[in-house]
Amino acid sequence: MRVVSARPSLRARLRNLAERRELLTGMITSDIRIKYKGSALGIFWSMLSPALTLATYYLVFSVFLKNGIPNFVVYLFAGLVVWNLFQGGVSSSTGVIVDRAGLVKKVSFPREILALSNIGAAVIYFLIQLGVLAVFLLIIGHAPAWGFVAVLPLAFLALYFLTAAVGIVMSAVTVYLRDVRHLMDVVLQLWFWLSPVVYSYENSIAAPLRRHGLTALYFLNPVTPIIITFQRAFYAAPVVRSTTTGLALHVLPSWSLGEFVVINAGLAVGSFILFLLALVVFGRLEGNFESEL
């Protein structure tokens, strides 16, 4: 007699995801098509929207709210690109199983694909925003730090697996606790301000943290090193001269290329482990989805 487990092992889950990669790709494409259904410009809005956002930031921080940091809009947008992927992926994944309850109850497939498809769509928008940023750098004649650009694939892997881990767990928890969806909006808003996107880490908060011995505590936020890596690659200069006072401003940590590689490699491995743990947690929670939905 052969006993079949109702709870697939982690290896079986990974194999199922690999075998259903065409389904995942199709759902990502479907999500993007649904978002722009009936729109005259279609996916072009995904390029136009970040371009207009970038132009607005350029106008605000170059004309009205000068902070002395040259080309601050590049620093800001490099961080926003990372945050938009993380926030968009987690936020859209949190309620996806509840939103697609009909599909979950009628069709047999790996349910975590629902969260991964939303995160995949967020990755597409992320790549489009990177393209807009690259065009902007060409227009203003700002060269990235090419040596640090080579670290970005590691940073992206860390970002993707971290987003997938959080999104998969939250999608399962929300089936049982519907208020989690609204709670995550608040948590993500707080998380945003704990990450160095709209302010310079080194110039704004590094000194107070060192004085109180809290630097390591700040870097418990796994998104922070990833954001700093993208800012270091695209903004390029860790130290610049203020356009208002002429004084040197330490905008980014003066980590070496090797330190960035080690940090992001460690984050990528750690995020992948979190992703595997998220699949295990999801497997333990999905048994009662049908009854809860």
Per-residue confidence at 159, pLDDT binned at 50, 70, 90? Answer: very high
Domain range annotation of the chain: 20-292
The pLDDT assigned to 21 comes to: 84
The arithmetic mean of pLDDT across residues 123-131, rounded, is 91
Residue 125, class by beta-carbon neighbours within 10 Å (0-12 exposed, 13-18 middle, 19+ buried)? Answer: buried
| Distance in angstroms (rounded) separating the CA atoms of residues 8 and 6 | 6
Which of helix, strand or coil describes residue 64? helix
Mean pLDDT of 1-30: 75
Amino acid identity at 98:
V
pLDDT of residue 5: 44
pLDDT band of residue 4 (cuts 50, 70, 90) is very low
- Residue 53: band (very low, low, confident or very high) from pLDDT cuts 50, 70, 90: confident
- Environment class of residue 35 by beta-carbon count within 10 Å: exposed (0-12), middle (13-18) or buried (19+)? middle
- Kindly tell me if the per-residue pLDDT of 48 is higher than 70: yes
Report the distance separating Cα 271 and Cα 223, nearest Å.
11
Q: What is the pLDDT of residue 104?
A: 81
Of 123-127, 164-168, 245-249, give the lowest mean pLDDT range.
245-249
Q: Mean pLDDT, to the nearest integer, of 89-96?
A: 91
Single out the residue of 272, 243, 190, 233 nearest to residue 65, CA to CA: 243
Q: What is the rounded CA–CA span in Å between residue 18 and residue 10?
A: 12
pLDDT-derived band at 2, boundaries 50, 70, 90: very low
pLDDT over 90 at 32, yes or no:
no
- DSSP class of residue 130 equals H
Residues 6+ apart with CB under 8 A from 169: 278, 281, 282
pLDDT of residue 279: 92
| Whole-angstrom distance, CA of residue 76 vs CA of residue 74 | 5
Q: What is the mean pLDDT of residues 34-63?
A: 71
Cα 114 to its chain centre, rounded Å, is: 17
What would the pLDDT profile of 217-265 be if each residue is shown by its tens digit?
Answer: 777 889 999 999 999 999 988 877 776 676 677 778 888 999 999 999 9
